[in-house]
Structure 1
Amino acid sequence: MIPVTMLDAATVVGQVTDPELPMVTLAELGIVRDVRQDGDGVLVTITPTYSGCPAMETIRADIAGALRRAGFERVEVRTVLAPAWTTDWISETGRRKLAEAGIAPPGPAPRRPAGPVPLTLTPRPSDLRCPRCGSADTEAVAAFGATACRELRRCRACREPFEHMKEI
């Protein structure tokens, strides 16, 4: 067990990877909102990528386990839903790691008006590039990939399929 004096809680939490996207840390993904350390106790605040994310139980357990292995006795992981997470919170390092793993990172999140969100039936125009060859000539194959926050696409230039993390 690493003594608490050797690693601070934020460093420990910053190394925990996402269970569905193990190439990025939770901090790079932007879901770690706050880490407060008080002696041997830690309070971590996280926001899910969406409110129904099935990985949240695993994420909380991974954070708590990493902190306990680092010597923290008292660990609490709180989930907050407001403000809602947005793909704009993914760090540049996280975006680079997604692309290196063959997942097209999201572009800028759509700006939402205050109040009710109008329903639109036409897809947003996209300058999405293939993470393998860089071509912008891509097409959607399926609205959902391995998880609800990703879609399956294909590059018309290199013909390779790839996933795209949707903008939220």
Structure 2
Amino acid sequence: MTTLAAPASISAIEAALAHLSDPEIPVVSLAELGILRGVREGADGTIEVVITPTYSGCPAMGQIEDDVRAALKTTAPNARVVTQLTPAWTTDWMSEAAKEKLRAYGIAPPQCGSAGDASHGTVKFSRHAVRADVVPCPQCESHNTTEVSPFGSTACKAQYRCLDCLEPFDYFKPY
């Protein structure tokens, strides 16, 4: 006689997914980045793992889905992966641990999220507010940096250069 295994609990599934890292930034987990939105029971009773891309054209999403499915094979083989585009991902979903790991990896973390951050302020020119963010160098922590290009190694990053240590670095753009 064959007995069916009891369905995995949501906490067991979350634990199975906790080690999954971003394919483009392997030092940060999907959960820390806020890409892994949650695990829930769908309307039909099937477990769903909800993921949200950092932006709608993120080329890593196929790999992320494959990694999630592989992690679910033993814990919840019948679970499905749901890509949810709304609400749109924001750097506000990124944990402080993720920001520290980015910095240690050589990527400047976002200075603020979609809602802004009063600690970085704005400068008013006429009737328009302009961000006055300074992106500190993740290598030497200097604030003497400049944007080289709004396009970095991936679309969610910009390329910067430190004018003190002269090192180039990526800046994870706030969304």
Which one of the candidate residues 42, 48, 61 is aligned to 2:47? 42
Tell which structure's C-alpha radius of gyration is larger.
2
Work out the CA distance in 1 between the residues paired with 2:132 and 2:31: 29
CA contact (8 A) 2:54 2:90 kept: yes
Shift of 1:57: 1.0
CA offset at residue 122 of structure 1? 9.4
Distance 1:139 1:122, change over 3 A: farther
Q: CA deviation at 1:134?
A: 0.5
Q: Which residue of 2 aligns with 1:100?
A: 104
Aligned residues: 154
Local SS of the residue matching 1:49:
coil
Structure 1: gaps (5+ residues): 113-120
What does 1:1-168 align with in structure 2 at a 5 Å threshold? 8-36=12-40, 42-68=47-73, 70-111=74-115, 124-168=131-175
Scaled by the length of structure 1, what TM-score is found?
Answer: 0.83
Using a 3 Å threshold, how does the CA distance of structure 1 residues 145 and 43 change in structure 2: closer, same or farther? same
The one-letter amino acid paired with 1:97 is K
Deviation at 1:123, TM superposition (A): 6.7
Q: Which runs of 5+ in 2 are unaligned?
A: 1-7, 117-127
Describe the SS at the equivalent of 1:126. coil
Q: What's the Cα RMSD here?
A: 2.4
TM-score by length of 2: 0.80
Tell me, yes or no, if the aligned pair for 2:90 and 2:114 is still in contact at 8 Å: no
* Aligned counterparts of 1:110 and 1:45: Cα–Cα separation in 2: 21
Asked whether the equivalents of residues 39 and 49 of structure 2 are also in contact (C-alpha less than 8 Å), the reply is: yes
Letter of the 2:108 partner, please give it.
A
Q: Which sits farther off after the overlay, 121-130 or 78-87?
A: 121-130
